Structure 1
């Protein structure tokens, strides 16, 4: 076990705490706090949210509602005498004046974890120039950048400047594999989607692909969509337009997904942008192979024909062909797919690698 002389850590997360959506990152945050206590470290957390619920009851949390977590933390530094040895950020923008101000108020070691996906076709020229300028101006105030995939590392360097090579490290996301029960018998009839309902997740492509499949091939098929978001009403309208009401069900958010995954034969994730998807890890951990796109870090986890099927993002015809081939039993994933996640992407490994950075301070 690591031996850390008592350190005080602040973790600033632009992340909404919600009791109806307890996912992989929620479990990481709690596991990180538990590890910190075991090692004699104090952690103060800054989250978005309305109230602290039971899952987070043991954490020292400042909840933010009407302003940004960054502004709240800076105000906290002004008003408190707490000396932080380490400041960690999650889901915040990299290379901004925030990090400069943190260094002005505290000499803490700053770690910025990049969970932010990039657009499929890249940023427009104006934004690319702006990011390069921010990299020059503000990257020196961050001591360590953490990329959650090799894809993310490439884009940190491409966005902000390759002079950051020595400051960027890959630490893959991990999940608590113990809470996932494995699916055993694969019938290729029950499909799950677990996703925020926004345009970049590509669920509209899934509905369009289903519309093009012969109704006889869809007999007995069910697709349950878990999640909510700005496209929810539009997607429901599309489902009705395509007459998919007997096939597609919108289930809303659920805190019970770890128990539900095993009820499905495949997960479908037609996303346009991704860093390193926790949903993919969760599905595989439940022994449920994945139908997904080539974007982000997906190809660092999914091998086409081995633990899932991969198609080009936005290609409705390609998704239709994958689904048809599975429904007609022309191709299938027959092997167990949970072993890779259990061996290489556990929550314990993720937490340990994050604390290896704190140990070096």
Structure 2
């Protein structure tokens, strides 16, 4: 396990250790979908991570999929995030912003100015979304025109520039878990006949072009991409994921800071990506593996399967997780009832080992 506490280089970032805080939606943004002072406290408490990957941040107003999630598309949001990054840096931490467009996941009630969820094709997700009026079923999304796809790529690049202006050390693109980039990869959600659909090369084009545009905007060595091969979230499917992800990985900039793989029960696909990708890899092991989401997940470092390991709820509940992993615990239990929304409870009140 000692390798977990050794430095590692990811692009322009040198991590103090290989323990990463995974991105986790908390639905606690304030006015104007900007982070709050409580957000800054939450992340600063966890600054002993080798790297913090922020909660999902929408790159545009139309990219929002959940209630009270933060954006990076307004000046006020940039200023509010700057408070967060400064507090993390003051504690010696590093933090990147995860940019996520939710695509067909969401509801019109969450969006301004009569906007509706959009997607590669008008294929409804079998999902419900929590709104101010309670849970509501997803709607049939509006299909993006080719010009709108290109504008969405530009929105990601603009939000990435905003992230750097806000003091983030880099950006992670969320190409996993059934959201917009992942939807373009899917054969049953992406039914397009333009250059962004059809063949495997067509379905990987959006992910490849978003990555290239953001890399051009902020530099590839400050950029990571998260993927979740064969993740069947809300009915999304990927025929032949081996060929799909081999094609995608081959099209990524070689100087990309890292790939972040969220496993979904297919360790064979993780190995495929690892073999195809010559750069650093962060692994977020899935709960179907006995060692996942717990201290034993660090074993993948010794196996050479990953260069760093991302922890979700274990980091949520244990702000000093690297120390606890080094000392073998004990570990606080995460309170699922306070995962989304609310105040400081279940957010900034988990105790560290010293009781703080």
TM-score relative to the length of structure 1: 0.32
Greater helix fraction, Structure 1 or Structure 2? 1
TM-score relative to the length of structure 2: 0.32
